Amino acid sequence: MLVSGVLFFLAIGIILGGAAVFTNGVEWLGRRLGISDGAIGSILAGIATALPETLIPVIAIFGSTGETEAAIGVGAILGAPLMLSALTIPLLAGFLLVLGKSRRRAGTFELDYHAVRLDLRVFLIAYSVALAVALIPIKPIRYAAAVGLLLLYVWYVKIHLASGKVNEMEIGPLFFSRGRSQPATAMIVIQALVGLGLMAGGAQMFVHVIKDTALGLGISPLVLSLLIAPVATELPEAMNSFFWVYQKKDTLAVGNITGAMVFQGTFPVAIGLVGTTWQLDTASLISLTLPLFATSLFYALTRMKRRWQPRLLILPVFLYAGYMMYLSLR
């Protein structure tokens, strides 16, 4: 247990360091490409930090033929959006409230709400399709839905890249080129890739530590795939967003999460629709429904209140806690 504890904190340290390196690099990359903060957070950061957990269902579903592995793959697909919507966003809102109370910054989100609404709307469409197909898991419908989800994501990327205003806010020096006010593009890309590699490596170490501990305690593969693996692999998104909120870059912080939700709700789901029967049990259906509920709340706040109120964003965390308790009692 002592070794596991040391490895646990080492993995956390690697993820934190990688997140700091990556966020700095991706800000410079977005500025060099001339795209908006919404696109930087939702597309560049969202896809890059979602890659580690995307590998889990790909390997589980296509790397083996066992039913257990397929179940783990489906659990990993459903677990990521569940954690992002019902845990990560509420924690981010709580962190913002803490910063506001300590007077380190204003305790309200300053967002590009047009970009946020786009992300939430696309996720709701994609995950509603996933739920509908789970209720009618016929092969032709599954394949058609998979293609539709991939096309939806392509459309989403196109809309994001074509909209939004480039923010001229000040960016700190590139870590790998502190002596230059305008670092070379190659150095920017190298730093972003190094940061991504550190996050992926740290997340993989975290998964192995948690997996060995969970299996030693006799936890079921469903609990492992729905809760434990996503907690580890979603740490890059969470850490990136916490860094950006602390730096008062809310559009990047929230876009990093909502963009990852869109990616997780389309590409990995398409993998599940093609590679499995997509016949979900009760626990899996609940894990698919909870993100729809949480995201509907977030979307409603952007339409009715025109702003995100951090206190209301915290509410879905109680659903997440209740779901964890339900799984532990199954």
| Alpha carbon separation from 228 to 20, 200, 207, 222, 308 (Å, rounded) | 24, 16, 8, 9, 28
3-state helix/strand/coil string of 224-293: HHHHHHHHHHCHHHHHHHHHHHHCCCHHHHHHHHHHHHHHHHHHHHHHHHHHCCCCCCHHHHHHHHHHHH
| Alpha carbon separation from 184 to 21, 28, 151, 160, 171 (Å, rounded) | 16, 10, 34, 25, 15
pLDDT at 95: 92
- Tell me how far apart the alpha carbons of residues 79 and 64 are, in angstroms, rounded to a whole number: 20
pLDDT at 327: 82
Tally of residues, the chain: 330
Question: Looking at the whole model, is its pTM more than 0.85?
Answer: no
pLDDT tens string, the chain, 330 residues long: the values are 677 778 878 877 887 788 778 878 887 887 787 777 667 767 776 676 666 667 667 766 776 656 666 777 788 788 889 989 999 999 999 999 999 898 888 888 888 888 889 999 999 999 999 999 999 989 999 999 999 999 999 999 888 777 655 555 567 789 888 888 889 999 999 998 998 888 778 767 776 776 676 667 666 666 666 666 666 666 666 787 888 898 888 888 888 889 889 999 999 999 999 988 898 888 889 999 999 999 999 999 988 877 788 899 999 999 999 998 888 776
pLDDT at 141: 95
**Short-list 1, 27, 9, 42, CA closest to 256:** 42
Q: What count of other Cβ atoms lies within 10 Å of the Cβ of residue 317?
A: 18
pLDDT at 65: 59
Q: CA 72 from chain center: how many Å?
A: 18
